[in-house]
A and B are shown apart, each in its own frame.
Chain A
Amino acid sequence: MPAGWGGYHTRRATHSADLHDRGRRAMLARLVSRSVTFSKALRQGSREAGMKIKALVPMGHGINCELETRYALELAGFDVVDTVHLNFLARGEVDPADYHIIVFPGGFLDGDDMGAAQACANRIRHSRVKAERLIDRLTRFVEKGGLVLGICNGFQLVTKLGMLPASSGDYTRREVTLTGNDSGRFEDRWVHLVVDQASPCIFTRDMVRLYLPVRHGEGKIVGKDAPFTETLVERHLAVVRYASPDSDAPTMDYPANPNGAELAIAGLCDPTGRVFGLMPHPEGYLHRTNHPRWTREELPEEGDGLTIFKNAASFLRTA
């Protein structure tokens, strides 16, 4: 079972500077809600690969999909999944460098006041961890080979931080944003996505199409200018795009394209393919019973969304 919330402890941040590794691990146990329980088969897989893969799932300030995101990572075979309050990251009490992947879950960061994730982007840019900022730790994490996945509000956050699409390798400059749906309203509905087979994205390897729920009011991707958005498609950074049920062609038709996103883009990756974000919720389709028509269709037991997390795990194991 997911370990719930039990592992949290607070500690005054008086001693995070020079802890040796053992002390550091002990403190970490107090700061994070950790789950290390997963199926036997998956456990075996990790032993064979010989490396423990660790995932960090931030929570707090309005994030609200952390439990199912954590569950998705557990199902995908991550050995350690830590749910950590953003404040512990912002104060440097937990260091992203101790993980292989950060998954920013969906939610309503700071209520999406002033624009989706806008205030949290400010928090990450302006939270000081000793001599550096939290954003510096995140960019270093990416530059050193870490994986980042942003889902819905998490995608809005990494995009507004500039970590996506980071077309020139600068992870701190905003090139694309997510703004209000053309419909002018929040909507919960399922969408079809086509995957760019030529994308460097490691999360969508060997995937062709996906069927996932969207649940957002500000999911419309807008680039800094129209030609720029086109280059994202040309460079295969527009990993997933909205399509109608019976066609592989990206569509601007509502509701197949639920928000009017430019060039029907639903998700982006950076040029390395290791940072990926999307508006639809892969953690919302982990099991057959998540599917909106499961009572009337023959469906596989596992949902489309799980593959994204599994791809991340297998990339880390083979990397």
Chain B
Amino acid sequence: MAHRVEVSLKPSLPDPPGRRLKARIASDLGIVADDLRVVDEYVLDRPLTGPELELLVEEVFRDPVIQEATTDEPTHLPFDWLIEVGFRPGVTDNVARTAREAVERTLGTKFGPDEGVYTRKLYFIQGRLSPKQVDSIAGGLLANDLIQTWRVYAPGDDRRVVSVPRVTSKSEAVVQRLNLDISDEELVLISKEGVLALSLEEMQTIRDFFKNPQFLDQRATRGLGAEITDCELEVLAQTWSEHCKHKIFNALIEYGSPGRTRTIDSLFKTYIQGATEKIRKELGDRDYCLSVFKDNAGVIRFDNEWNLVFKVETHNSPSALDPYGGALTGIVGVNRDPFGTGLGARLIFNTDVFCFAPPDFKGTIPPRLLHPRRVFEGVREGVEHGGNKSGIPTVNGAIVFDDRYLGKPLVYCGTGGLMPAEVNGKPGHLKQALPGDRIVMTGGRIGKDGIHGATFSSEELHEGSPVTAVQIGDPITQKRMTDFLLLARDRGLYNSITDNGAGGLSSSVGEMANESGGARLELDRAPLKYPGLQPWEILLSEAQERMTVAVPREKLKEFLSLAEALDVEATDLGEFTDDGFFTVSWKGALAVVLPLDFLHGGLPRMRLKARWEPPVHAEPSLDANTGLTPVLMDLMGRWNICSKERVIRQYDHEVQAGTVIKPLVGARMDGPGDAAVVRPVLGRFQGVAVGCGIAPRYSDIDTYWMMAACIDEAVRNIVAVGADPDRMAGLDNFCWCDPVQSEKTPDGEYKLAQLVRANEALYDISTAYRIPCISGKDSMKNDYHIGDTKISIPPTVLFSAVGIVPNVRLAVTPDFKRPGDAIYVLGETRDETGGSEYFASKGFVGNKVPKVIDPEASIRMYRALHEAIKAGLIASCHDLSDGGLGVALAESAFSGALGATVSLAHLVLTNVDRDDTALFSETPSRFLVTVRPDKQRAFEQALAGFPCACVGVVTSDSKLHITGLTGHVIVDADIWALKQRWQAPLGV
């Protein structure tokens, strides 16, 4: 019989989470409750005596100072409505896992196979609400139907029955065989119904391979018939998914632009890898790249003893369905990338960039989508729990708003790591599973969570998108595992390591098999969360917090016993071989026999067409108004410009005690930083700067310049704080809408041309700046398509940059420092208001997109600026981006609690004859710099030959005073009023 314990705060104490929820119900749903209190419910599904229950209440569940508890009896709290929310069977329940361990410890006995602990939340609501309102609170805010169930009780309803969300599937686990010798229509149907995301051509390739006599012979000698098994088809679908194989980036593309057609043989090889190769060649023996594109993350040299590892991933599709779980899984998932690179890295920072529809979105929410406000809060909280609980500082990020992200929010999560340059005498960045090594899975167990994630994210979000693709991360299980694995690494207990992310064991073992030349996996040995999984599900499950390691046979015992000592599950699942096959067995019989060369090389190449026609937008004819104070005030409060402090404060950005430049800076520690600087080796002063660039608005005009602006912004961000422009590395994360021409996507050729152009810019700008991309990722199907509604995101690239800061004591922040300091603008200002926040605020896109017209000159200027920073000549430095010079001046002024007097007439201008253009143009390659008067001369010498103009002075009052091109006052604003507008939208 199941028992129930309910734990509530003493009625005399306030309930902050309850109060916060009540406020959200009022603000998000417009429903006003009088009172809301939250009670924790634990269902203990095992026999317990009365004294045992009492012991558990006192020793496990109740905090005697502040809490009360009931056992097998409802909590006595007044309510008008009671909402009970619990997880669906099989959904990860972290609190229940912790409670279960504590119960076992306290009673000294383990739970049996059919026994368990489950948790629920009880919301006691007082207030005159209608049943419909209560339903909308439950379904619209407290519970997500995909992963949770909820029930509403009125006073007097019987609440004594304890239901147990046990997984009850008793279906027998068998390997099925399929006949692929069927019609094309049936092949397509198999792919579609099975969420395989395989095209007809790919299905045909598989069918034909299973007619190859040599392969059939090989199968026969191993004792497997000619028909493909469900496991094999699933393994192929996962391995060949867009998510894992980047088919579009590797396609043969016929690219037509006005007057010219040419063929591109793989965007990835030509532009991304091509640029990095060129840069590395030019660097020669100064090349600091150690491992690029081939491992889970990129690796560069930090110093003689340490390497820096960096990776950014997206987790968009899961976050659309379950923002909290999707984002949590996103961050703890990307943690495993640097962790599983080379022989493993300790994680030193996180970075998070989100793209949402505006929180005040007023339109209709299409089916299966959630209101952007709910997506925002869910994602924010997921990343909070993932980052904070893992002890990794979240040091950098951005939030971008555009209506089109309603269709799919973008959730970029990145993690940096530090690995020893040498581990037991071997280079830390290399790994090699050897034939004979054991396949050992460590960390969490396998469940039905996250099945088909790889293939699901390779499709648009549609009605049949599987709910099993959603997972909830468990940062503590992962932390235990990483604590253990770092010890195992330093003791040389494994030869190779990789994470179980998309595609689960199929992906991790399938990829590591490439290192040794084969693998034989005994699938039935894999530990399960609960019975009832089919073999293919075990193989494909993306259940979180798992790493696969290759352990030499003679070290297996030591590895397993260390794992056991540290409460980490580790299971020997088979052997790496060199027979050229990925082999999987289920209870002694073969379930998969696939040659590695077909698995990894048999995929037919896509051939795609791209056609570029530059779009033409209406050019606004705005009044040449001289009074721009209201315009500037307006811009400060725009979603893309306003303060993100509320989010930043809820992320621990200082754990590990090395965050030298924090995301919030200035006199009152609430100004926006350009990039973070982390000092990863305490006791040394060399640091890492982390910044990012993202500019999706420019995609509406030309993705070439969008990409150029992203790289330029990311580089300027890190140079502004003190990174050395000659020791940088980049990471590209493309999020596109489907660029493959089809009935569903009639403008696919244009969208693909946009992709081509972005790649061209990546090559041009990154080679000019000599910033090698060391890793990256693409997510190509960010569309929503249900019924007649199709929403495609604007083509979006996040370019993340890391750079070495030679001495963190010389790092610089953007806040004005002292009255009397001279204000300079570096870089020329052009009429580039197309795609700007200024135009957007007036409802226009325009055509004059910001351009990085001379990247060679720009990077030379950044080098000169870096020398000035190293010489201590700079008091403050801020990069110019959204909102142009006007917004940057306001930010630097109120961050420093100082005013400024500025004249636009002194700017270095090209083709600018309007004050609004000069103030709000978003021309890249510019900085706002302040310099102490006694250092002006040296500074001007350092920047001689570059467009660098002294435009004003920092003042001790609180006025931002700007005169225009003709000497008229165009802005006269109080910095605190500007700041108030800037802080108002999201709060602090």
A interface residues, Cβ below 8 angstroms from B: 1-2, 4-6, 8-10, 12, 59-65, 67-68, 71, 85, 87-88, 91, 106-108, 110-115, 118-119, 122-123, 125-127, 160, 174-177, 179-190, 213, 215, 222-224, 281, 283-284, 286, 288-290, 292-296
Interface residues in B867-891 by Cβ distance below 8 A to A read none
Q: B63 interface residue, CB < 8 Å from A?
A: yes
Residue from A9, A12, A114, A295 within 8 A of B98 (CB atoms): A114
Contacts of B63 in A (CB 8 A): 115, 118, 160, 174, 177, 179
Give a binary string over B85-124; 1 marks a CB under 8 Å from any A CB, 0 the rest. 0000000001101110110011000000000000000000
Q: 21 A-B contacts, Cβ less than 8 Å apart?
A: A1-B684, A8-B491, A10-B562, A61-B480, A62-B389, A62-B391, A63-B391, A68-B657, A68-B682, A85-B565, A87-B565, A111-B474, A125-B59, A126-B105, A188-B649, A188-B651, A190-B669, A215-B654, A222-B13, A283-B657, A284-B657
Partner of B101, one of A119, A183, A295: A119
Chain B residues closer than 8 Å to A5, beta-carbon distance: 486-487, 490
| A106 to B669 alpha-carbon distance, docked (Å) | 23
User: B490 to chain A: which residues have CB within 8 Å?
Assistant: 4-6, 8
* A112 partner residues in chain B, CB cutoff 8 A: 389
Stretch of B14-22, B152-160, B521-529, B739-747 at the chain-chain interface: B14-22
Whose C-beta in chain A lies nearest to the C-beta of B391? A64
Q: Which residue of B lies closest to A213 (CB)?
A: B654
Q: Answer whether A289 and B809 are a contact pair too, CB < 8 Å, given A185-B650, A188-B649, A190-B669.
A: yes
Complex formed: what's the CA distance from A110 to B305 in Å? Answer: 33
Closest to B649 in A: A187
CB-contact partner of B682 in A2, A180, A183, under 8 A:
A2
Complex: how many Å from CA A71 to CA B791? 51
- In the complex, the chain B residue whose C-beta lies closest to that of A93 is B565
Number of B residues whose C-beta is below 8 Å from A?
80
- Chain A residues, CB < 8 A from B60: 114, 118-119, 122
Asked if B812 is an interface residue, CB under 8 A from chain A, the answer is yes
Expressed in whole angstroms, the Cα–Cα distance for A288 and B389 within the complex equals 26
Bound-state CA distance A17–B17 (Å) is: 48
B389 contacts A111, CB within 8 Å?
yes
Are A1 and B681 in contact, CB atoms less than 8 angstroms apart?
yes
- Quick one: CB contact mask for B351-394 with A, threshold 8 Å, 1 for yes? 00000000000000000000000000000000010001111000
Given A64-B479, A186-B384, A188-B652, also A295-B665 (CB < 8 A)? yes
Chain A residues lying within 8 Å of B652, measured Cβ to Cβ, are 186, 188, 215
12 additional contacts, CB 8 Å, given A110-B98, A179-B66? A10-B558, A62-B475, A111-B475, A111-B476, A122-B102, A174-B63, A174-B64, A182-B16, A187-B649, A224-B64, A289-B809, A292-B665
**How far does the alpha carbon of A210 sit from the alpha carbon of B246 in the complex, in Å?**
53
B660–A222 CB distance below 8 A = no
Contact A292-B662, Cβ < 8 Å, known A106-B655, A222-B13:
yes
Look across to chain A and name the residue whose beta carbon is closest to the beta carbon of B20. A184
* Smallest CB gap from B61: residue in A: A114
**Considering the chains assembled together, what is the distance between the CA atoms of A59 and B479 in angstroms?**
11
User: Chain B contacts of A176 at CB under 8 A?
Assistant: 65
Contact A122 B59 (CB under 8 A): yes
Given A177-B66, A284-B657, A292-B669, A127 and B105 contact (CB-CB distance below 8 Å): yes
Measured between beta carbons, the chain B residues less than 8 angstroms from A114 are 40, 60-61, 95, 98-99, 102
- B539 proximal to A (CB < 8 A): no
Asked if B438 is at the interface of the complex by the 8 Å CB criterion, the answer is no
Per-residue interface assignment for chain B, residues 447 to 486, with 1 indicating a CB less than 8 Å from any chain A CB and 0 otherwise: 0000000000000000000000000001110011001001
User: CA separation between A224 and B63, bound complex, in Å?
Assistant: 10
CA gap between A85 and B852 in the complex, in Å:
52
Q: For B811, what are the chain A residues with a Cβ–Cβ distance below 8 Å?
A: 289, 295
B679 partner, pick from A2, A64, A111, A289, beta carbons under 8 A: A289
B640 / chain A contacts, CB cutoff of 8 Å? none
**Alpha-carbon distance between A290 and B685 when the two chains are bound, in angstroms:** 12
Q: Which residues of B contact A59 (CB under 8 A)?
A: 483
Known: A10-B558, A62-B476, A295-B813. A184 touches B16 (CB 8 A): yes
Report chain A residues within 8 Å CB of B517.
none
Chain B residues near A2 (CB-CB < 8 A):
682-683
Find chain B residues with CB under 8 A from A290 CB: 654, 657, 659-660
| A112 closest partner in B (C-beta) | B389
Residues from chain B with Cβ under 8 Å of A123 in the complex? 102, 105
Nearest residue (CB) in A for B815 is A296
Indicate if B566 sits at the interface (CB-CB under 8 A). yes
Residue of A nearest to B813 (CB): A295
CA distance A1 to B388 in the complex (A): 26
Does A108 contact B475, Cβ atoms closer than 8 Å?
Answer: yes
* CA–CA, A143 and B987, complex, Å: 49
User: B662 contacts which chain A residues (CB < 8 A)?
Assistant: 292
Minimum CB–CB distance for B555 against chain A, Å: 12
| Candidates A180, A224, A295; contact of B65 at CB < 8 Å | A224
> Which 3 residue pairs spanning A and B have beta carbons closest together?
A64-B391, A184-B20, A68-B657
Known pairs A10-B561, A65-B391; A60 contacts B483 (CB<8 A) = yes
The answer for the CA separation of A63 and B480 in the assembled complex, in Å, is 10
B654 touching A284, Cβ below 8 Å: yes
CB distance from A145 to the nearest CB of B (A): 28
B896 near A: Cβ within 8 Å? yes
CB–CB B99/A113 < 8 A: yes
Q: How far is the CA of A186 from the CA of B385 in the complex (A)?
A: 10
In the complex, whether B817 has a CB less than 8 A from a CB of chain A is: yes
Q: Which residues of B contact A64 (CB under 8 A)?
A: 390-391, 479, 655-656
B808 interface residue (CB < 8 Å to A) = yes
| Least CB distance, A309 to chain B, in whole angstroms | 13
In the bound assembly, the distance between CA atoms of A60 and B480 in angstroms comes to 6
Chain B residues closer than 8 Å to A85, beta-carbon distance: 483, 565-566
- Tell me, in angstroms, the Cα distance from A190 to B668 when the chains sit together: 11
Question: Does the CB pair B817–A296 fall under 8 Å?
Answer: yes
In the bound complex, how far is the Cα of B566 from the Cα of A85, in angstroms?
8
Tell whether B979 is near chain A: CB-to-CB under 8 Å: no
Interchain CB contact under 8 A, A293 and B667: yes
Establish whether residues A185 and B20, one from each chain, have CB atoms under 8 Å apart when the complex forms. yes
Shortest CB–CB separation between residue B75 and chain A, in angstroms?
16
- Note all chain B residues with C-beta closer than 8 A to A118: 60, 63
- Known A-B contacts A87-B566, A127-B105, A188-B649; the reply to A293 vs B669 at CB < 8 A is yes
Find the residue from A118, A180, A182, A296 having the highest chain B CB count within 10 A.
A296
CB of A289 within 8 A of CB of B808, answer yes
> Within the assembled complex, what's the spacing in Å between the Cα atoms of A119 and B106?
11
Shortest Cβ distance from residue A124 to the other chain B in the assembled complex, whole angstroms: 10
Bound-complex Cα distance A189 to B661 (A): 14
Cβ distance B21 to chain A, nearest Cβ, rounded Å: 8
Which residues of B are found within 8 Å of A119, using beta-carbon distances?
A: 60, 98-99, 101-102
Q: How far is the CB of A215 from chain B (nearest CB, A)?
A: 5
Indicate if the CB atoms of A174 and B683 lie closer than 8 Å: no
Chain A residues, Cβ within 8 Å of B815: 295-296
Residues 43-86 of B, flagged 1 when their CB comes within 8 A of A and 0 if not, give: 00000000000000001110111100000000000000000000
Encoded as 1 (CB less than 8 Å from any A CB) or 0, chain B from 718 to 758 comes to 00000000000000000000000000000000000000000
Q: Any chain A CB within 8 A of the CB of B408?
A: no
**B residues less than 8 Å from A175 (CB atoms):** 65
Complex Cα spacing A298 to B666, Å: 14
The CA of A67 and the CA of B393, in the complex, are separated in Å by 14
Minimum C-beta distance from A31 to chain B (A): 10
What are the residues of chain B within 8 A of A65 when measuring CB–CB? 391, 655-657
Q: Which A residues touch B384, using CB under 8 A?
A: 186
B567 within 8 A of A: yes
Contact of B667 among A6, A174, A190, A296 (CB under 8 A): A296
- Residues from chain B with a CB closer than 8 A to the CB of A181 are 16
Chain A residues within an 8 Å CB radius of B420: 4
Bound CA–CA A63/B655 (angstroms)? 11
Task: Closest B residue to A152 by CB, please name it.
Answer: B655
Instruction: Looking at the assembled complex, report how far the CB atom of B732 sits from the nearest CB atom of chain A, in whole angstroms.
Output: 30
CB distance from A257 to the nearest CB of B (A): 14
